[in-house]
């Protein structure tokens, strides 16, 4: 099936999908409104973001039970976008459209498998950081004041707000927090705690005085947002869209894995990226904030009986009905109640599993997680994830290079030839001191190039060099150049060079570098034994000439 053809909706599980979609919509409603407020685009933008991403990701995506919409990580980045382009909302929504286009491109380029390769300490660090940001950013509304612009601003005014809180708003917020955390399970099966928190928080806010609410929430169809590219800020727009696209893709695919485990089914990562992209493109066009696969809403859908993409479609249609007819009712929801719901979301986003094992985790993983966490909270997610991936990659390259260095072995007749079988050892011993066998194993890359150069420079003169590559599946250009230098030095010293186990991937790299021009085809062997026999024949010929 083409990635841009919608999924075929089945009614085989209609009742389960209907209940699952309705339940997920009830859970999604307060979160969508809260994320819309937190993003700076307004509650209706959060609602239409949930409708658009939820609908189109289900129609075009690759995870049958996934419920998509605004999420904590996406909202944090979206907030920075709407702050940066606050003077021109159309440009901010254009960034959301570009996010969708990039995700569609990711899907067509089949990047789904690569996005899931992000190191776990990096994921843990930025998820815990995002959880901390959500909690910190909601403390001011919880106390009855307006939402802060960023974490530093929130922390700077917090002491003053703590000294003079709006007690009525604080009461509503604490009630919402208590309901979200402590609702008994039998009640939670009937009505989701976030919705119960909103309902009771709103009722309490109507009774009390001076409790800030959401204000006007228009009950109407969305307004079409035409793309608006600011030439001077085009680079920033593309950069922000790429970050949102990457973050949304990671968030969605992680949720797909959760859904896969919960339902014992499989998902299509690349198709899911296309579906998320179509959803975010539609969200930008209709004035919604960007979204991704939402773990809590997806699990709610599954637990309520949803099993096919129809459940996600039903979830979006329920939210659309609310958006069209219930705006005046929603406008009375206290900001403190939404803050209480979001604090619970922040707590759930934090990676408690890693934190519980932090004292036993490898030191490098712990340091990496802490660095990403600090950068996420106090700098930005772009820098945090970028630095985390770079650091993790460097650590991996260092470990791989150490293993590659250990695999470099030089053998003569005086060595203990545990690498060789008895016949090969006997033949090499018969060659005397004039034959050197250099054995490499594993992937040889730039990480080991310097060590190869150091080892090879210390080698003494020899009449025959046997370069054993039988256990090397692949080689990169840096390591290939070091091998070429070794061959050149041997040729310059009038030594014969024999190569063993030159596989196609190795031959291709060395041919591109021009290294194989130094070694005739008659000097290439498929087995180590044949190469040592040829070396023995060469040494005997030299002895005879002498």
- Position 298 in a domain: yes
Average pLDDT of the chain is 84
List of residues 6+ apart from 153 with CB closer than 8 A = none
Confidence bin at 116 (pLDDT 50/70/90) = low
pLDDT of residue 165: 93
Query: 2 exposed, middle or buried (CB, 10 Å; 0-12, 13-18, 19+)?
Result: exposed
Query: Which is higher by pLDDT, 274 or 332?
Result: 274
| Pair (182, 330) in one structural domain | yes
* Contact predicate 107/270, CB 8 Å: yes
CA atoms within 13 A on the CB side of 452: 26
Phi, psi of 435 (to 5 degrees): -120, 130
How many domains is the chain built from? 2
Q: Is the pLDDT of residue 414 over 60?
A: no
Of 6-10, 226-230, 445-449, which has the strongest mean pLDDT?
226-230
* Contact predicate 407/441, CB 8 Å: yes
Q: What is the enclosing helix (H) or strand (E) of 293?
A: strand 292-293
Whether the predicted model's global pTM rises above the 0.75 cut: no
Q: Is the pLDDT of residue 458 over 90?
A: no
Q: What percent of the chain has pLDDT over 90?
A: 27
| Pair (239, 157) in one structural domain | yes
| Pair (457, 505) in one structural domain | yes
Q: Is the pLDDT of residue 261 over 80?
A: no
Q: What is the enclosing helix (H) or strand (E) of 470?
A: strand 464-471
| Pair (331, 427) in one structural domain | no
| Pair (239, 317) in one structural domain | yes
Torsion angle of alpha carbons 423, 425, 426, 428, nearest 10°?
120
Picking from 346, 391, 356, 349, the residue whose alpha carbon sits closest to that of residue 151 is: 346
Of 215-219, 256-260, 378-382, 440-444, which has the strongest mean pLDDT?
256-260
| Pair (136, 59) in one structural domain | yes
* Contact predicate 288/52, CB 8 Å: yes
Q: What is the CATH number of the domain that holds 435?
A: 3.30.750.24
- Position 400 in a domain: no
Q: Is the pLDDT of residue 202 over 60?
A: yes
Confidence bin at 388 (pLDDT 50/70/90) = confident
pLDDT of residue 100: 97
pLDDT of residue 40: 86
- Position 460 in a domain: yes
- Of the candidates 367, 394, 421, which is a domain's last residue? 394
| Pair (321, 358) in one structural domain | yes
Q: Is the pLDDT of residue 275 over 80?
A: yes
- Of the candidates 394, 417, 434, which is a domain's last residue? 394
Structure tokens at 301: 């859908």
Give a three-class secondary structure readout of 246-310: HHHHHHHHHHHHHHHHHHCCCCCHHHHHHHHHHHHHHHHHCCCCCCEECHHHHHHHHHHCCCCHH
- Position 500 in a domain: yes
Pairing relation of β-strands 524-525 and 496-500?
parallel
Which of 57-61, 261-265, 338-342 has the least mean pLDDT?
A: 261-265
| Pair (512, 539) in one structural domain | yes
pLDDT of residue 28: 86
* Contact predicate 214/331, CB 8 Å: yes
Q: What is the mean pLDDT of residues 118-135?
A: 84
Between CA 514 and CA 169 the distance in angstroms is 74
Q: What is the mean pLDDT of residues 455-459?
A: 60
Structure tokens at 334: 């206290």
Confidence bin at 368 (pLDDT 50/70/90) = very high
Q: What is the mean pLDDT of residues 391-412?
A: 74
For residue 422, list its beta bridge partners. Answer: none
Q: What is the mean pLDDT of residues 181-203?
A: 88
Q: What percent of the chain has pLDDT over 70?
A: 91
- Of the candidates 394, 422, 456, which is a domain's last residue? 394
Structure tokens at 137: 């950013």
Confidence bin at 266 (pLDDT 50/70/90) = confident
Phi, psi of 440 (to 5 degrees): -120, 150
pLDDT of residue 517: 75
Query: Which is higher by pLDDT, 485 or 310?
Result: 310
- Position 145 in a domain: yes
| Pair (343, 306) in one structural domain | yes
| Pair (287, 430) in one structural domain | no
Question: In whole angstroms, how far apart are CA 521 and each of 136, 199, 306, 515?
Answer: 68, 81, 64, 12
| Pair (337, 461) in one structural domain | no
Confidence bin at 468 (pLDDT 50/70/90) = confident
| Pair (141, 286) in one structural domain | yes
- Position 402 in a domain: no
What is the span of the domain harbouring residue 505?
407-545
- Position 27 in a domain: yes
- Position 472 in a domain: yes
Structure tokens at 204: 């309490």
């Amino acid at each position: 099936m083409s990635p841009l053809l919608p999924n075929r909706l089945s009614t085989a599980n209609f009742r389960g999908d209907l209940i699952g979609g309705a339940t997920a919509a009830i859970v999604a409603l307060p979160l969508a409104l809260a994320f819309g407020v937190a993003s700076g685009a307004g509650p209706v933008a959060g609602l239409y973001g949930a409708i658009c991403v939820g609908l189109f990701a289900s129609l075009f995506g690759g995870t049958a039970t996934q419920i998509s919409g605004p999420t904590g990580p996406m909202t944090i980045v979206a907030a920075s976008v709407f702050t940066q382009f606050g003077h021109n909302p159309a440009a901010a929504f254009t960034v959301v459209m570009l996010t969708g286009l990039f995700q569609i491109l990711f899907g067509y380029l089949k990047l789904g498998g690569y996005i899931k390769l992000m190191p776990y300490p990096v994921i843990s660090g930025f998820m815990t950081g995002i959880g901390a940001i959500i909690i910190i950013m909601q403390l001011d509304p919880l106390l009855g004041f307006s939402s802060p612009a960023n974490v530093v601003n929130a922390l700077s005014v917090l002491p003053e707000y703590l000294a003079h809180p709006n007690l009525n708003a604080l009461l509503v917020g604490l009630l919402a927090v208590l309901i979200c955390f402590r609702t008994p399970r039998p009640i939670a099966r009937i009505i989701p705690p976030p919705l119960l928190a909103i309902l009771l928080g709103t009722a309490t806010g109507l009774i009390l005085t001076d409790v800030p609410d959401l204000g006007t929430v228009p009950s109407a169809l969305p307004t079409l947002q035409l793309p608006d590219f600011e030439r001077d800020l085009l680079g920033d727009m593309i950069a922000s869209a790429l970050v949102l696209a990457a973050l949304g893709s990671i968030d969605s695919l992680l949720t797909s894995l959760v859904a896969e485990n919960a339902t014992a089914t499989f998902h299509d990562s690349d198709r899911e990226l296309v579906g998320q992209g179509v959803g975010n493109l539609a969200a930008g066009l209709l004035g919604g904030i960007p979204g991704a696969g939402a773990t809590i809403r997806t699990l709610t859908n599954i637990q309520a009986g949803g099993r096919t993409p129809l459940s996600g479609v039903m979830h979006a249609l329920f939210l659309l009905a609310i958006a069209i007819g219930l705006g005046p009712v929603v406008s009375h929801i206290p900001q403190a109640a939404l803050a209480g719901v979001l604090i619970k979301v922040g707590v759930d986003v934090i990676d408690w599993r890693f934190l519980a094992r932090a004292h036993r985790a490898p030191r490098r993983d712990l340091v990496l997680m802490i660095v990403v966490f600090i950068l996420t909270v106090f700098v930005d997610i772009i820098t945090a994830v970028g630095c985390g991936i770079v650091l993790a990659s460097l650590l991996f390259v260092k470990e791989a290079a150490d293993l590659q260095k250990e695999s470099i072995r030089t053998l003569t007749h005086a060595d203990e030839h545990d690498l060789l079988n008895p016949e090969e050892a006997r033949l090499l011993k018969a060659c005397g001191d004039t034959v050197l066998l250099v054995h490499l194993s594993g992937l040889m890359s730039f990480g080991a190039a310097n060590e190869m150069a150091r080892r090879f420079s210390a080698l003494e003169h020899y009449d025959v060099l046997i370069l054993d590559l039988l256990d090397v599946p692949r080689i990169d250009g840096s390591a290939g150049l070091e091998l070429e230098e070794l061959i050149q030095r041997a040729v310059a010293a009038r030594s014969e060079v024999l190569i063993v186990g030159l596989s196609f991937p190795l031959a291709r790299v060395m041919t591109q570098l021009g290294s194989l021009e130094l070694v005739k085809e008659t000097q290439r062997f498929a087995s180590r034994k044949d190469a040592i026999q040829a070396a023995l024949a060469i040494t005997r010929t030299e002895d005879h000439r002498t």
